Structure 1
Amino acid sequence: MQGRSNSAQQNMLSDLYPLTPQRSCSQTPLLKRTPSRATLSISQSSKKKRRFSIPNFEFEATELRASPASEAAVEETDADRFLAVRGSTTLPLNTTPRTNRVAKSFGLVDDRVLNCGETSATPAQTKVRSILRRCASELFNTPRTTSAISAKSNLAVRKQFIMALDGPGISLNLFASPMAWSHSNCIGVAFKLNVYFQNLDTRVIVRLCGVPAADGMVHSVDWGGTANPHILALGTTCGIVQTWDSLTQMQITDWSDDDSPVGGIHWNGNMLAVGRKDGRVSLFDIRSPRQVERVEGHRRHVIGTKWSPDGRCLATGDQSGSVHVWDMRAGGHVTANDRKVLMKHEGPVKAISWAPWQNGLLATGGLFPDGKIQLWNINKSNSPLTIPTETNVTALHWSPHCKEILSTHGLSWEPWHVIRRAEPPAKQAPRTPFSNSMTVHAYPSCDKIVSVNAHSAPIGHACIGPDGCSIFTVSPVEETIKMFKVWSAPAGKGKDDEGMSYKCAIR
């Protein structure tokens, strides 16, 4: 019965697929295979015979016989990876004259597509497949576009300053804050015993005030923010604190009952925070003739003060590197997870900046021997993000329009100076990518976006404009003040910088 069945199948296959006279298809492996549905349907239905046109195929026993070694190990081939390789199949694909015409029109008639077997691809075919696969992968890749707000589209494109001011006599003290930019677009600068300001809209330069030599040099200045844009506060090295009206050029208040030298100062509405050398922070109200409150917690000179954008918290940094955050409504330190928020640098901290678009995000920068930028979240007690620079970090400013932060830098130092805690040499200091530069970093990746050598000498201080796009930097050694456009404001915001002069003098 087995022999008769095999003979019948052989006769059926010979009727459907006549073989060539030179070759025979009577091998045992072929005859033992089970007929497919296509064969049965063709042999049983006369209607389907008229619809199918199957070409002649030549079968060889050597191609159909599977070796034991090929079943044990899988070998890499050059066949198309999107088609299954069936080298031992006994039947062809169900092709018709119509499918052949369609395949030819699309260029698919070749031995790789219609004959699912392994063929050796030529180098030209391999190259074409690589090109096609690369083109297909590019369709799924979304190209990154640079935002027009980012510093990569502004400062990185034009690295030159757009305004320069002469600044002879600016304090060389690294802890000083001798420059501020008002919301009425006036730049105020302290020159030894005097304070000058220039209206950047009218270009008028005015000497606002001066202090006696007995009161010390003007150490820090700051404008009154959005609440009092025409009021400027100054503090001297002998503890004098005064406020002046730039419109009338008249003195408003004089808080001179404290002889402790002034450090950093910053406005919050009608409240002025003043850091002192003995570690105190004095709080003054412009409506009161005397100090209204004092905050104690530092042990060294408080050289950095900054109110949060909502006016709730005050961050202060001292000469020893300690940073405290005060909750002025609660009358004490800010706490996170029932712990005081205390931050520490290895060097003095003057540069402090709050992010205007995220509550509780604070950036601090350390001077020698620290040289690091740390990004803190005061609402969490986790470790900060750190950007090592090995230079003096003199100022920090967040962009109000995008998640980027700008830092200004001074001298750098050798690693052995940090170990010995020695003073870095002023003339022999080595240069690093951050030396005397103005650098913009991305948040939270901390990647460097652009770095510009703003001055040929160390940058002592910097202030941001009312539009949140431009920065003024000052180099006391170079005696120059420069303005750079770092960011762009979104559509409908910011001021136009066209028409600004490229060179003018403030004195």
Structure 2
Amino acid sequence: MMTKDNASPSLLKTPPRPKRRASSLAYASPSTPFSARRSKSTKPRMSPARSLMRTPSSYKSTPSSYSGDRFIPSRRQMNVDLCRRALLSDEFQDENKDSNKGSSHDDERSPQQPADTPIQKEYKRRMLSSLCNIPLDALNENAEPKGLFSFGFEEKRKLSSSISMRLEDPYSHDTLHVLDKFQGTSDSAVIKGSEGVNRRIPNQPSRILDAPDLVDDYYLNLISWSKDNILAVALAHCVYLWNASTGDIHHLTTIEGNDDYVTSVQWCTMSGQSKYIAIGTNSNTVQLWDCQSMKKVRTLHGHSGRVASIAWNQHWLTSGGRDSLILQHDVRSANHLVAQYKGHEQEVCGLKWNEDGTTLASGGNENFLCIWDAKMSSSQGQRRGRRSQDFAPRLLLQQHKAAVKALDWCPFHRGLLASGGGTADRNIKLWNSNSGAMLNSIDTGSQVCSILWSPHQRELCSSHGFSENQLILWKYGNGSSLTKVKELTGHTSRVLSLACSPDGSTVVSAAGDESLRFWDIFGAPPSRRSSVMPMGDMSFGMPTVR
């Protein structure tokens, strides 16, 4: 038996331990005789192993109180209008820089651009405050937001005190701008509870005119009231003009062709150019007429289906057809077709530009509601340098369950859009067009054919088809609520279209029962409460006045 003393040296020898890399020793234990390289001006770097083993108390001793994995700033104070303006202005600045690269050697010879005067700076400051919904005290003298990227508590408190958050939902950062003429107007000053408004609303129309051969088609838009107080009505192949001040009636044109008829009419809304009217036809064209000289100016082509909807935006004429296309025309140019908006799959039956001409809303027979950004489209078209371009909608809203024809922009909340659905939907929906949030949805119980906001009241009028064929006056309240004020009946068929008088007091309704009814439901403007707009007793095509 072998003893310990005479054991083989090789068996008693402890096998050597494998050498480990210095990096593994560095993380193994604090007592490991390995020292990392230290910088001259900083403290020793803590190993990841020790940093993970720190107790909660050790976090409190650090300067930062944040214990998450990354910093996500709050977007509650974000202004979507301001962000979009910054993005678009940067695009134009980049284009100008690229175009001026070749002439950089002439910078010494070219005179410098003069600095803005104090009056110009104040003008830009107030313009930015109005367009982007920013309080004046939040802008400095150079029209730049104060503390745009400040997320501290003090900055949040100051900004929250100057901007009232009206919508308690995930889109509360995207508030809707209240126009100056409605500032300080409370709902209690206009409405008394849920029963009605503080003025008398007649139950019967003030005037009824015959409109024989008015086409009973839900998708068409056959009446339009101009700023010159002239009502245009399309009756089958003909277009008539009725002067609401004098009662004079004139026949403008008759569309030739057995299968052709008028499918839409719309007066030009550009200041000083209200004598022009656009007429859409079943033959896929848009005719532009001068109603003072009673002559056709030009015919615009481009659609492959009937033109059921038309909207003006300054010198831009937008048309929507059964071919599911929205065409943008420049009526000043010989090559009038500028852009194509592609987002619908069926007939485009509703078109409406907002008041400042920056956003277009369109509704289609496939139940889509599309929001288009006009400036983004124009900037892309200029950058690509092509005559006509195809653009997709900025927002595609599919909450409606039927065709969307009824559209109108709110005159006192910037970005607030009202839309109505057809028979399978029957809902009026309120939208924040900046974010696409649906603010409210009301089941009216009937097909929604048309929507019209009052220009000087917080009120909304809607016209309906099956099954009541009525008009409903709604009161807009806080929280984007709609309260039914009054129902107006009398039409025996669906009320296809609505139009408002220039003074905003009278609403005319065109129905499939071949009649026009004038309703004094919005009341006279605040500055002209005692004035009453004169109307002549005339009818279209027939002398009967009921």
Distance (Å, rounded) in 1 between the aligned partners of 2:201 and 2:331: 43
Q: Structure 2 length normalisation: TM-score?
A: 0.58
The alpha carbon displacement at 1:322 in A equals 0.3
Distance 1:494 1:297, change over 3 A: farther
The match for 1:161 among 186, 205, 210 is 205
User: What's the counterpart of residue 14 of structure 1?
Assistant: none
Which residue in 1 is equivalent to 2:243? 199
Asked whether the 8 Å contact 1:165–1:480 carries over to 2, the reply is yes
Q: Which residue of 2 aligns with 1:292?
A: 338
Partner Cα separation in structure 1 for residue 393 and residue 353 of structure 2: 13
Counterpart residue identity of residue 309, structure 1: E
Q: Deviations over 1:223-279 (max 9, x none)?
A: 001432111111112202101111110111111354321121111111111002121
1:235-384 matched pairs, under 5 angstroms: 235-289=280-334, 290-331=336-377, 340=395, 342-384=397-439
The aligned amino acid for 1:448 is K
Contact 2:252 2:294 in 1 (8 A): yes
Q: What is the CA distance between 1:398 and its match in structure 2?
A: 0.8
Letter in 1 for 2:238: N
What per-residue deviation string (whole Å, max 9, x for no partner) do you get for residues 182-241 of structure 1? Answer: 000000001111100111112111001111115611001000014321111111122021
**Aligned equivalents of 1:495 and 1:287: distance in 2?**
41
Q: In 2 relative to 1, CA 494–215 (structure 1 residues): closer, same or farther, beyond 3 Å? A: farther
Q: Do the aligned partners of 1:266 and 1:274 also contact (CA within 8 Å) in 2? A: yes
Counterpart pick for 1:482 among 517, 522, 534: 517
CA–CA distance in structure 2, aligned partners of residues 236 and 151 of structure 1: 41
CA contact (8 A) 2:328 2:339 kept: yes
1:350 and 1:395 in contact (8 A); partners too:
yes
**Contact 1:321 1:349 survives alignment (8 Å):** yes
- The residue number in structure 1 matching 2:459 is 404
Q: 1:77-100 CA distances to partner (integer Å, 9 max, x unpaired)?
A: xxxxxxxxxxxxxxxxxxxxxxxx
Q: Residue type of the partner of 2:482?
A: C
CA contact (8 A) 2:201 2:520 kept: no
Aligned to 2:277: 232
2:538 equivalent in structure 1 = 504
Aligned position for 1:463: 499
Q: In structure 2, do the counterparts of structure 1 residues 498 and 279 end up closer, same or farther at CA, with 3 Å as the change threshold?
A: closer
**Higher mean C-alpha deviation, range 288-297 or range 164-173:** 288-297
> CA, structure 1 residues 498+267, in 2 after alignment: closer, same or farther (shift >3 Å)?
closer
Instruction: Report the Cα distance in structure 1 between the residues aligned to 2:460 and 2:226, rounded to whole angstroms.
Output: 20
* Aligned equivalents of 1:381, 1:480: Cα separation in 2: 37
> C-alpha distance in 2, partners of 1:258/1:383?
32
Residue 252 to residue 162, structure 1, CA distance change in 2 (3 Å): same
Q: Which residue of 2 aligns with 1:417?
A: none
Matching residue's letter, 2:471: M
Q: Measure how far apart 1:349 and its partner are.
A: 0.7
Provide the C-alpha distance between the structure 2 equivalents of 1:207 and 1:359, rounded to a whole number of angstroms. 38
Q: Distance in 1 between matches of 2:202 and 2:247?
A: 24
The Cα of 1:500 is off from its aligned counterpart by 3.1
The CA distance in 2 between the partners of 1:241 and 1:495, in whole Å, is: 40
Output the CA distance in 1 between the equivalents of 2:445 and 2:258. 38
Report SS of the residue matched to 2:197: helix
Contact 1:362 / 1:375 at 8 angstroms: preserved in 2?
A: yes
Query: Per the alignment, do residues 499 and 265 of structure 1 end up closer, same or farther by CA in structure 2, a change over 3 Å counting?
Result: closer
Deviations 1:329-348 (A, max 9, x none): 0125675xxxx452431000
Amino acid corresponding to residue 539 of structure 2 in structure 1: A
Paired amino acid for 1:242: Q
Contact kept, 8 Å, 2:302 with 2:337, in 1: the verdict is no
State the distance in 2 between where 1:458 and 1:485 align: 20
What root-mean-square deviation, in Å, do the aligned CA atoms of Structure 1 and Structure 2 show? 2.3
Contact residue 469 and residue 494 of structure 1 kept, 8 A: no
Cα distance, 1:146 vs structure 2: 4.9
Cα separation, partners in 2 of 1:248 and 1:151, compared to 1, 3 Å: farther
Shift in Å at residue 495 of structure 1?
A: 8.9
Conserved? CA contact 2:326–2:340, under 8 Å: yes
Distance in structure 2 (CA, Å) of the matches to 1:232 and 1:500: 22
Aligned letter for 2:485?
Answer: I
For residues 259 and 292 of structure 2, what CA distance do their matches in structure 1 show?
Answer: 24
Distance 1:271 1:324 in 2: 19
Q: Which amino acid aligns with 1:354?
A: W
Q: How far does residue 291 in structure 1 lie from its aligned partner after superposition?
A: 1.6
Q: Which residue of 2 aligns with 1:418?
A: none
Query: d(CA) in 2 for partners of 1:439 and 1:350?
Result: 17
Letter in 1 for 2:531: D
Report the TM-score, using the length of structure 1 for normalisation: 0.62
Structure 2: distance between partners of 1:506 and 1:493: 29
Identity %, equivalent residues: 28
> Matches of 2:518 and 2:293 in 1, distance apart?
27
Task: Identify the residue that residue 119 of structure 1 maps to in structure 2.
Answer: none
The within-5 A match list for 1:441-460 is 441-443=474-476, 444-460=480-496
**Structure 2 Cα separation of the partners of residues 273 and 153 of structure 1:** 39
Q: Which amino acid aligns with 1:264?
A: S
Following the alignment from structure 2 to structure 1, what is the Cα–Cα distance between the partners of residues 247 and 419?
A: 34
1:504 match: secondary structure? coil
Contact 1:410 1:457 survives alignment (8 Å): yes
Which amino acid in structure 1 is aligned with residue 491 of structure 2? H
Q: CA deviation at 1:404?
A: 1.3
Whether 1:472 and 2:508 are equivalent positions in the alignment is yes
- Once the two structures are TM-superposed, the CA of residue 292 in structure 1 deviates from its matched residue by 2.0
C-alpha distance in 2, partners of 1:260/1:152?
44
Q: Distance in 2 between matches of 1:495 and 1:436?
A: 31
- 1:152 partnered with 2:188: no
In the comparison of the two structures, how many residue pairs are matched?
335
Q: Which stretches in structure 2 are left out of the alignment for 5+ residues? A: 1-186, 378-390, 542-546
Q: Judging changes above 3 Å, is the alpha-carbon distance between structure 1 residues 493 and 151 closer, same or farther for their aligned structure 2 residues?
A: farther
Tell me the distance in 2 between the aligned counterparts of 1:275 and 1:473: 22
